[in-house]
């Protein structure tokens, strides 16, 4: 960790918990999310400079409300309680009361500030401001020692303040962009009230992380599976900077990559970082095993197990290797359903397709404290080029799950050329960075067309371009029709074997982003 000041966020299951953590980090303060089941003693042992209680979907009066140790309120730490957190405060502090209600208030509300408290310092005077609400219950009596600091039309007690104890509560969500002055309110809490020093920068992170990596690895060696995506490339470059040739990167070319992609990433890494790169061309093995296979799950399984096999064979040639480096990110680490208690499942991740335990390698995960946007900032810090930093996500099974039906060399070639045009046109029009992901899919379908004077009977390709924040949900991107037309014209004119192009207008759910 590069910063000494840490904010601990207790997670009660709100969809916005990660957003709170990101807002705090954007303010230059390191924050960590912990499940609400941690005790006050455990929180104290983390030595945070402030605590934030998140919102959550439960009701404090429910029999199965998430477990919480109210002694957290007695730690003497600056505390900000948001939404469900506010109800917890009122529920557990003497004199406070919460009324259960079945109607939820969701969306914008107009907030009127009632008290001149440090949390609202510098907010433009008078009138009201828009805030984002999402709650069922509400506080109906303030705990002893707390003043009511704001109200909305529907909520008489929309904010609570105990200036002396540096404890505050908000019924609305300051972390959400729709809340006017939300950033000011959070900054007031972090800097004005808790007196934190912003010290969390990506440059600082890189510096301390490199030192930690050097110390941890010592004289041992590390292996890393490089996919060409931003996460694994950043991991490789960081480790290379830390331990040089003691890092071995294995790039498995499964023959299912986009046009020129494997070579492009490998060449870049070799040229700029003199990386110890083991480029394994296993495409024949993969394609051989995929011959005749049309079932999507079977394709995925074959590719996953073949990857592990190839990786193991290569790693076995490196006897000094003790560690496996992975690009695990913070969202993979946080318990996703934390409020159900310590037994809750931790999200598994499959960055390298889940390597078998018998490999007995200890894990090194230098990005496990970071969000995706922070990884991109690290990449900038490391001097990496845009084509790696902003590369769209690409699935492990590669083009195999974008060729519906059997995967053959010939169909791969058609899809690669088609996909390249989609990529080129997205980039040339400036849309590449605006969308989450854009690619082509090859359908197992032939249709009739006419070219010149002749009849054609060729393949149909689909264009899939989506907007998304986290790939959990997605909507098809409203690209300008001229851009779609340019893609279609070029594909039909330039790619032999395609005579029809369709545009996918499905959202997720119920469709998925990939077609298989
Ligand atoms: P779906 O198709 O489930 O995709 O909506 C969500 C996101 O995940 C990517 N994806 C994968 N990534 N291995 C990966 O590393 C996989 O097997 C895989 N399948 C889908 C997909 O490209 C999208 O960004």
pLDDT for 367-425, tens place per residue? Answer: 988 988 899 999 999 999 998 999 999 999 999 999 999 999 999 999 999 999 999 99
Query: Among 336-350, 357-371, 457-471, 486-500, which is the least confidently predicted range?
Result: 336-350
Please report the pLDDT score of residue 337 as a whole number: 42
Q: How confident is the model at residue 347 (pLDDT cuts 50, 70, 90)?
A: very low
User: Ligand 1: residues whose CB is within 6 Å?
Assistant: 393, 395-397, 437, 471, 508, 512-514
pLDDT of residue 373: 86
Q: Is 184 within 8 Å of 175 (Cβ atoms)?
A: no
Residue 262 has pLDDT above 90, yes or no: no
Other CB atoms within 10 Å distance of the CB of residue 404: 18
CB 109 within 8 A of CB 183: no
367: phi > 0 → left, psi -120 to 50 → alpha, else beta; which? alpha
Atom of ligand 1 nearest to the CA of 350: 15
Distance (Å) from CA 514 to ligand 1 centroid: 7
pLDDT score recorded for residue 102 = 67
pLDDT of residue 2: 42
The domain locations on the chain are: 6-193, 202-389, 402-503
pLDDT digits (tens, 9 = 90+) for 25-39: 999 999 999 999 999
pLDDT tens for 98-118 read: 998 766 778 899 999 999 999
CA 330 – CA 197 distance, rounded (Å): 23
Residue 81 among the catalytic residues:
no
pLDDT surpasses 70 at 429: yes
pLDDT for 493 equals 96
| Residue located via tokens 């490196």 | 318
Q: How far apart are CA 46 and CA 357, in angstroms?
A: 31
409 is catalytic: no
Ligand 1 center–CA 433 separation, angstroms:
18
Of 36, 83, 224, 249, the active-site residue reads 83
pLDDT confidence bin for 458, thresholds 50/70/90? very high
Residue 336 has pLDDT above 60, yes or no: no
83 is catalytic: yes
298-328 pLDDT per residue, tens: 999 999 999 999 999 999 999 999 999 999 8
Q: What is the CATH number of domain 202-389?
A: 3.40.50.620
- Whether 6-193 shares its CATH topology with 402-503 is answered no
Question: For a pLDDT cut of 90, what percent of the chain falls above it?
Answer: 77
Predicted local distance difference test score (pLDDT) of residue 161? 98
pTM of the predicted model as reported, rounded to 2 decimal places = 0.81
Stronger pLDDT, 356 or 333, i.e. the higher one: 333
Atom of ligand 1 nearest to the CA of 394: 22
pLDDT attached to residue 351: 40
Kindly give the distance from the C-alpha atom of residue 86 to the centroid of ligand 1, in angstroms, as a whole number.
37
Q: Which helix (H) or strand (E) holds 299?
A: helix 296-316
Q: Whose CA is nearest to atom 18 of ligand 1?
A: 395
| Domain at 6-193, CATH class | alpha beta
Q: How far is CA 430 from CA 303, 434, 460, 475, 494, in A?
A: 33, 8, 26, 19, 22
Whether 149 shows a pLDDT value over 70: the answer reads yes
Q: Which of 57-61, 68-72, 356-360 has the highest mean pLDDT?
A: 68-72
Query: Which residue from 393, 441, 470, 509 has its CB within 8 A of the most atoms of ligand 1, so it is best to mutate?
Result: 393
Range 129-145 average pLDDT: 92
Q: Probe ligand 1: pick from 401, 402, 471, max atoms within 8 Å of CB?
A: 471
Say if CB 291 and CB 283 are below 8 A apart.
no
Mean pLDDT within 120-134 = 87
Q: Ligand 1 centroid vs 342 CA: distance in angstroms? A: 28
Q: Which atom of ligand 1 is nearest to the CA of 300?
A: 17
Confidence of residue 345 (pLDDT cuts 50, 70, 90): very low
Question: What is the spatial distance between Cα 133 and Cα 135, in angstroms, rounded to a whole number?
Answer: 6
Q: What is the CA radius of gyration of the chain?
A: 26
Segment 68-82, tens digit of pLDDT: 999 999 999 999 999
* Separation CA 231–CA 326 (nearest Å): 8
Helices 372-381 and 202-217: crossing angle in degrees, nearest 10, is: 80
Domain 402-503 class in CATH: alpha beta
Measured in Å, residue 395 CA sits from the centre of ligand 1 at: 5
* Gap from CA of 381 to ligand 1 centroid (Å): 27
Question: Whose alpha carbon is nearest atom 3 of ligand 1?
Answer: 512
Residue of 91, 173, 187, 240 marked active site: 173
Query: Does the pLDDT at position 339 exceed 80?
Result: no
Main-chain dihedrals φ then ψ at residue 309, nearest 5 degrees: -60, -50
Catalytic residue, from 32, 175, 374, 516: name it: 175
pLDDT of residue 346 exceeding 50, the answer is no
Mean pLDDT of the chain: 91
CA distance 446 to 456: 10
Q: Cβ distance 475 to 467 under 8 Å?
A: yes
């Amino acid at each position: 960790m590069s910063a000494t000041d840490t904010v601990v966020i207790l997670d009660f299951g709100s969809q916005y918990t990660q957003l709170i953590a990101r807002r705090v980090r954007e303010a230059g303060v390191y924050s960590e999310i912990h499940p609400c089941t941690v005790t006050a003693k455990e929180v104290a042992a983390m030595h945070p400079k402030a605590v934030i209680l998140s919102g959550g979907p439960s009701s404090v009066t429910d029999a199965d409300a998430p477990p919480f140790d109210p002694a957290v309120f007695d730690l003497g730490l600056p505390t900000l309680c948001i939404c469900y957190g506010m109800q917890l405060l009122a529920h557990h502090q003497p004199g406070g009361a919460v009324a259960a209600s079945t109607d939820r208030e969701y969306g914008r509300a107009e907030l009127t500030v009632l008290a001149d408290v440090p949390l609202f310092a510098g907010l433009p005077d008078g009138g009201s401001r828009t805030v984002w609400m999402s709650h069922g219950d509400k506080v109906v009596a303030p705990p002893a020692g707390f003043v009511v600091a704001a109200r909305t039309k529907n909520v008489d007690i929309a904010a609570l303040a105990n200036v002396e104890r540096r404890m505050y509560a908000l019924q609305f969500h300051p972390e959400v962009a729709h809340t006017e002055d939300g950033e000011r309110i959070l900054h007031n809490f972090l800097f004005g009230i808790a007196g934190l020093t912003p010290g969390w920068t990506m440059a600082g992170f890189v510096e301390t992380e490199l030192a930690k990596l050097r110390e941890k690895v010592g004289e041992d060696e590390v292996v890393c599976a490089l996919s060409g995506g931003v996460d694994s490339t950043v991991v490789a470059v960081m480790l290379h900077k830390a331990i040089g040739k003691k890092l071995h990167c294995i790039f498995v070319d499964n023959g299912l990559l986009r046009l020129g992609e494997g070579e492009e990433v490998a060449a870049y890494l070799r040229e700029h970082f003199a990386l110890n790169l083991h480029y394994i061309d296993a495409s024949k093995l993969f394609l051989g095993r995929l011959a005749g296979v049309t079932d999507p799950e079977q394709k995925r399984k074959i590719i996953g197990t073949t990857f592990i096999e190839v990786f193991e064979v290569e790693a076995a040639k490196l006897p000094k290797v003790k560690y496996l480096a992975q690009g695990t990110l913070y969202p993979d680490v946080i318990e996703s359903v934390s409020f159900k208690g310590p037994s809750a499942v931790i999200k598994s991740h499959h960055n390298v397709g889940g390597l078998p335990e018998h490999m007995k390698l200890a894990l090194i995960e230098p990005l496990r404290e970071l969000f995706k946007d922070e990884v991109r900032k690290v990449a900038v810090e490391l001097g990496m080029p845009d084509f790696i930093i902003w590369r769209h996500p690409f699935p492990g099974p590669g083009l195999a799950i974008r060729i519906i039906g059997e995967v053959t060399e010939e169909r791969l070639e058609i899809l690669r050329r088609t996909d390249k045009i989609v990529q080129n046109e997205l980039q040339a029009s400036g849309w590449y960075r605006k969308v989450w992901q854009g690619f082509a899919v090859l359908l197992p379908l032939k249709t009739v067309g006419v070219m010149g004077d002749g009849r054609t009977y060729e393949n149909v390709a689909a264009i899939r371009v989506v907007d998304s924040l986290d790939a959990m949900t997605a909507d098809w991107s409203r690209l300008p029709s001229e851009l779609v037309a340019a893609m279609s014209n070029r594909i039909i004119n330039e790619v032999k074997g395609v005579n029809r192009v369709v545009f996918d207008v499905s959202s997720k759910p119920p469709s998925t982003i990939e077609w298989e």
